[in-house]
Structure 1
Amino acid sequence: MRSVRTLLTAALLGAGLAVAASPTAHAANTPLPAHVFSPYFEAYSSDNPATLSSSSGAKYLSMAFVQAATKGSCTAYWNGSTSQPISSSTFGSQIATIQANGGDVVPSFGGYTADNTGTEIADSCTNVSSIAAAYESVVTTYGVTRIDLDTEDNSLTNSAGIDRRNKAIAQVESWAASTGHTVQFSYTLPTTTNGLASSGLAVLQNAVQNNARVDVVNIMTFDYYDGATHHMGTDAENAATGLEGQLASLYPAKSAAQLWNMVGITMMPGIDDYGAAETTTVADATQVESWATSKGLAELSFWALQRDNGGCPGTGGSDTCSGISQGTWDFSHAMEPFTSGGGGTTQNDFSLSLSPASASVQQGGSATATVSTAVTSGSAQSVSLSASGAPSGVSLALSPTSVTAGGSSTLTATVGASVPAGSYPIKVTGSAASGSHTATYTLTVTTSGGGGGGGSLVNGGFESGSLSPWTCQSGSAVVSSPVHSGSHALLVVPSASTTGECDQTLTLSPNHAYTLTGWVQGPYAYIGVTGGASASTWSSGSSWNQLTVHFTTGSNGTVTVFVHGWYGQGDVNADDFSVA
């Protein structure tokens, strides 16, 4: 029999009213446990999330979904409904109740419908800052500390959306570090039984390229649609093991424990959308919970809380029942021990980022970058900072050399006059009791001498603010955004009849091997040399990409360095050229 207090609490929850916080209450803006069970809640239903959280015992919920109302919009709503804005009037009291009872929610952006209709916010909105603002809005409105990005279907092939999403993640993480917020990001991705398919892996590769920290990679261990015979519990473990190996390649500086603590598993109770051949039992959930605890995974989840009952035996893919014979909340009870047994005591951890992440410096010059840290779980701890990888003649200094997580330091790179031109990766490491994190600072050294028409390449980063000594076809110009590093870059503007080419003629040592490097973004971006040598390369993409061209000068040493786009194919940006 339930007590009077229990009945009163249930009544308040059913009304969407907050109850007084217990001593174990999870305050807003408190990081989630390092190992958490967080089943999905179908926010598009009429159910009250606080009521189901209390009834099921699932203290943490992933709430699905947040998306734009129409394709092309930059405004996010719950369920894409304009009547459900991101505001305290929508789910605000229910989320506060869950937090007061010691739990929290993870708003989830995307989902199959949004990913299929172009209303996933990063697919819909072409402005990175507006996407970042949508993420920041759920953090500040509801006091949450993790955002889930359910990325599947067409969103896995929308390269522009993938790039915008990861740039927005990096922007939010910078905002969080500067404002004292704690924000984690999880990617929820489809999987094979051996790990991510190439499309999902490409999402994470792009995140690394954009310096976007991904805290959890949550794989959907159901709907395989491969026609194979499945043991869903073992298949989930095999998929997660494959993912851990893929993460090791993406994040070589992380320990095995840190990699496992990036892995999440989402199961689907009962019969999934494929049919009876893919049936997950309560025993499977119990098996995976025990295995995940032993490995130290970050998250266990399932789709969805409203399915955790046996109301429709034999039915597959229902939103409201599992399709197998089970008791109500059997899957929740099987997985709930993961939060406490797997690490209910939050482990301390932090993040490390650089702004800017690269710079172009002439010989004899210097550059600075801000090294930012942030608390990603647990409490702030002391972080010792170091920098390594500089070539001979480049000195590195950090001030201060130790910060409390949430603080920042300044990295100064001073380049000697004789340092060879080229790009050098500098590794910045933060070490704390919980482990270490690294970030890479790309230092491009350019030569300081010479003028247009001879000597070394000049104004390779366009930091003078003018084209000289480059000569360009009509329309091309120096701009302040976008840039790869520094304050300026080159905008190459092709037309139907021109490529927008920009040139600089150099007199180098005769019969000598050189390497031309430059950073470009845009469709059909070419760099190369003509004259005393002939070589070129090109790329096509919406993010910055470094191109390298090897060439050997002729008897007089004179070459012309060029960069251009292609006829009628759109503008190209270029930055940080050097010849070494």
Structure 2
Amino acid sequence: MKRLPLAAGTVAVAALAILGLAAPAQAATAAHGARPVPILPALPLPTHFSAPYVDVTAVSDLAAVSKQSGSKDLTLAFLQTPSAGSCTVDWAGDPAAPVAASTYGVAIGTIRLRGGDVIPSFGGYSADTTGTEIADSCTDVHKIALAYENVVTTYKVQRLDFDIEADSLNDAAGIQRRNQAIGEVEKWAAKTHRRVAFSYTLPSTPQGLAPSGLAVLQSAAAEGAAITTVNIMTFDYYDGLTHDMAKDAETAATALTTQLRATISPRLSNRALWQQVGVTQMIGVDDYGPAETLTVSQAKAFVAWARGAGIGSIAFWALERDNGSCPGTTGANACSGVDQPTWAFSRAFATFARWL
């Protein structure tokens, strides 16, 4: 999934104005003279939840957008290395936004006080195409695992997400290192009595994962990496067809259950397989164009279907796009491209957990 570049300038400012938030960036504010604030421990995530992605470079206050949108749980995009070959991660690959309590710690604590939580996500399209996804960048499995553990201990999170797409899907060595590092972290978590789960976010076709996505899961099975959720991105098909984005998400998720049984979960019940499914939509007009448009009414229908199917989690890209300021625009960073009230998608997705 895309994220705004750090120097997005007028685009980011426009998004903040639409959402009623003020600059400057939260990470910079926290880093200048703010007293360190202890981060509250996380409560267990619900069995079924919605956690929209939010580009941390596009909003000034994560806690504010969580409250305003009604999205209690957020997936934070993205953690990546500052340069190819590095074995450390920063938010958006920016050394000025390190993994530290002073970076987003106050916001995470506030979100938890309101009963929500965050899921840090590694990778994303930018990292996956520049060699800065940490498992692509770093050739030392132990150092990769230590980077994951540092995020867990710094923010006291209980889940890590890996958005693997584009070039990263073709990096077999990086795929193996990532799964080996996940396995190492799982052993560390068991030894230290921590609850840590892992999710893969992977591109999908309307018929489920492509062979490249299946290869990621086959590697996870071979390396003994336990994956709690496989979160398919049901958008950006680029197949030249006009899609019903809600219906195609249903067929993709249904196909995924069969693929999960064939790879990482051969012995799970049907109900448990559906619990392992995650689906991420792109709200409004996606990067391909109007032929791939998710409307608010379709989103409501999809959420109702997901509830009935027993899907474990749903999400969308991305919270800062959830406004109707640019009808007809394709793949915009700061708006959905459809005519909608602000936060209409967030509020539709937020009903998912309440129904269950």
Structure 2 length as normaliser, TM-score? 0.88
Question: Does residue 62 of structure 2 align to residue 49 of structure 1?
Answer: yes
Question: Does residue 107 of structure 2 align to residue 94 of structure 1?
Answer: yes
1:114 corresponding residue in structure 2:
127
Structure 1 residues 108-158: Cα deviation after superposition (integer angstroms, max 9, x where no partner): 000001000000000000011111111111111111101000000010000
Is the CA contact (8 Å cut-off) linking 1:267 and 1:301 kept in structure 2?
yes
2:252 corresponding residue in structure 1:
239
Alignment partners' CA distance in 1, 2:298 and 2:351: 15
Is the CA contact (8 Å cut-off) linking 2:284 and 2:337 kept in structure 1?
yes
Is the CA contact (8 Å cut-off) linking 1:53 and 1:59 kept in structure 2?
yes
Secondary structure of 1:261 counterpart:
helix
Structure 1 residues 434-468: Cα deviation after superposition (integer angstroms, max 9, x where no partner): xxxxxxxxxxxxxxxxxxxxxxxxxxxxxxxxxxx
Question: Does residue 47 of structure 2 align to residue 34 of structure 1?
Answer: yes
Q: Residue type matched to 2:352 in 1?
A: F
Alignment partners' CA distance in 1, 2:261 and 2:171: 25
Is the CA contact (8 Å cut-off) linking 1:260 and 1:298 kept in structure 2?
yes
Map of 1:44-443 to 2, 5 A cutoff? 44-250=57-263, 251-342=265-356
1:274 deviation in Å? Answer: 0.3
Secondary structure of 2:129 counterpart:
helix
Cα distance change of structure 1 residues 332 and 180 upon mapping to structure 2, 3 Å threshold: same
Structure 1 residues 337-360: Cα deviation after superposition (integer angstroms, max 9, x where no partner): 112223xxxxxxxxxxxxxxxxxx
Q: Residue type matched to 1:83 in 2?
A: A
Q: Residue type matched to 1:269 in 2?
A: I
Secondary structure of 1:187 counterpart:
strand
Alignment partners' CA distance in 1, 2:219 and 2:238: 26
Alignment partners' CA distance in 2, 1:28 and 1:100: 10
Cα distance change of structure 1 residues 92 and 27 upon mapping to structure 2, 3 Å threshold: closer
Segments of 4+ in structure 1 off by > 6 A? 14-17
Alignment partners' CA distance in 2, 1:47 and 1:226: 36
Is the CA contact (8 Å cut-off) linking 2:42 and 2:112 kept in structure 1?
no
Q: Residue type matched to 2:345 in 1?
A: F
Is the CA contact (8 Å cut-off) linking 1:269 and 1:281 kept in structure 2?
yes
Alignment partners' CA distance in 2, 1:136 and 1:146: 11
Alignment partners' CA distance in 1, 2:155 and 2:355: 27
Structure with higher helix content: 2
Cα distance change of structure 1 residues 120 and 201 upon mapping to structure 2, 3 Å threshold: same
Structure 1 residues 51-109: Cα deviation after superposition (integer angstroms, max 9, x where no partner): 00000010000000000000000011000001011001111111111111110000000
1:27 deviation in Å? Answer: 5.7
Q: Residue type matched to 2:69 in 1?
A: S
1:41 deviation in Å? Answer: 0.7
Larger Rg: 1
1:34 deviation in Å? Answer: 1.2
Unpaired runs of 5+ residues, structure 1, are 1-9, 18-25, 343-580
Alignment partners' CA distance in 1, 2:40 and 2:233: 29
1:283 deviation in Å? Answer: 1.2
Structure 1 length as normaliser, TM-score? 0.54
Is the CA contact (8 Å cut-off) linking 2:51 and 2:73 kept in structure 1?
yes
Aligned residues: 323
Structure 1 residues 302-359: Cα deviation after superposition (integer angstroms, max 9, x where no partner): 00000111011111111110011000110011111112223xxxxxxxxxxxxxxxxx
Unpaired runs of 5+ residues, structure 2, are 1-20
Alignment partners' CA distance in 2, 1:176 and 1:252: 24
Secondary structure of 1:117 counterpart:
coil
Alignment partners' CA distance in 1, 2:291 and 2:351: 28
Q: Residue type matched to 2:92 in 1?
A: N
Alignment partners' CA distance in 2, 1:145 and 1:252: 25
1:206 deviation in Å? Answer: 0.3
Structure with higher strand content: 1
Is the CA contact (8 Å cut-off) linking 2:296 and 2:345 kept in structure 1?
yes
